[in-house]
Homo-oligomer: A and B are copies of this chain.
Amino acid sequence: MMNDFKMHLKEYVDFFEDNLPQFLPKAEPHQEVLSESVTYCITDGGKRIRPVLVLEFCRLFCGDYKKAMPFAAAIEMIHSYSLAHDDLPCMDDDDMRRGKPSCHKKYGEANALLAGDALLTLAFDTIASKTDFSDISPLQAIRAAGVLAEKAGVYGMIGGQVIDLQSEGKKADVEILKLMDSKKTSALIAAACQMGCIVGGADEADIALAGEYAEKIGLAFQIVDDILDVKGDAKLLGKPVGSDSENDKSTYVSLLGLEQSQRLVDDLTNEAIEILNRFEGSEFLRELTLFLAKRDY
C-alpha cells in the first residue's frame, strides 16, 4: 500500500505526464523526425523531480499547483535537452539513457543536436505562449523565464558542463567538484523551486530560501549518484555502474570514500529539512528530500 507521500508524488507525476503531450510539437511535413526526436527525449524519462518541485512549491504558496504546469514542462524540457547534448559523441558519448538508446544513437548526431536545441527553445516558447495570464501576471512569467535562463546558462548548468570538460583527465578536488555540481545540478533544481515560488506568489525572502534548499538537495543528489555508481544496481538504474572509476573520474566517493560521502548526504539532507521547517505545510517536500537521499535508482 502506498503511503500519503507516495500517493501525493504519484498524483503530481501523473498530472505532469497527462498534460505534457499538449506542450510537445506536432509532426510537420518534411520534418517529422524533429517532433519524434523531441518527444523521444522527454517521454518515459526519469523521476520528474524538477517538475514535481515546480508544482509543489507553487502549491505551497498559493494552494493550486495546476497553473504551474507550463513552467513544470519548461524545466523538464531544459533537463531533457541537457541530457541529449550531454550524451553526444563530442561530450560523454553515451549510447544508453534510462535503459534505452540515447537520442543520437536512435536518430543520429545531427538530429540529436537539433532535438536538444528545439527542447531548449521550446522551454521558453512554452512559458511565453502557454501561461494563462488571467492567473499569472506577465511579470511573474518573465521573472520565472529569467530564473530558468539564468540557472540553465553560463553561470549555471552550462558553466558546470564546461568545468566538467575542463577538469577531464585532471585530478579534481572536492571544492571543484562542489562548484561544478552546484552549477551542473543544483542550479536547475533551484530554477525549479524558485519558478514554483514565483508562480505561486512567494515573497523575495522565500524565493531566496527555496534557492538555498535547492543548493543542498542538488549537491546531495549528485553525491547519491556517485554512491550509486559504486554500489547501485545497474538494472534499477537503467545504466551500467562503475563507469566513473572506469573513466578515472574524480567523484565524491573516490575523493572522500563511501562512508564520508554518505555522511555528507545525510548532513545536506538535514540542512535542507531545516530550511523546509521555515515553510508552513512543507511535509511533502520533507518526505521528498528524504526519498531523494535514500533512493536506489
> Which positions in A face B, CB cutoff 8 Å?
25, 28-31, 33-35, 38, 81, 85, 88-91, 108-111, 113-114, 116-118, 120-122, 124-125, 127-129, 131, 133, 137-139, 141-143, 145-146, 148-150, 152-155, 158-159, 161-163, 165-167, 176, 179-180
Contacts and interface: CB of A to CB of B under 8 A. Distances in A.
A85 B124 contact: no
A34 to B, nearest CB: 4
Contact of A138 (B30, B108, B138): B138
Given A90-B110, A111-B165, A162-B111, A34 B154 contact: yes
Contacts of A165: 110-111, 114
Given A139-B138, A142-B142, A31 B149 contact: no
Given A34-B158, A159-B34, A113 B90 contact: yes
B150 A34 contact: no
A31 B122 contact: no
17 contacts: A25-B155, A28-B154, A28-B159, A30-B163, A85-B117, A88-B113, A90-B110, A114-B158, A114-B162, A114-B165, A117-B120, A121-B154, A122-B154, A124-B148, A125-B146, A125-B150, A128-B143
Classify the interface of chain A: helix, strand, loop or mixed: helix
Q: Top 3 closest A-B pairs, CB basis?
A: A128-B146, A125-B149, A90-B109
Contacts of A138: 137-139, 141-142
B88 A154 contact: no
A183 B143 CA distance: 29
A30 B129 CA distance: 37
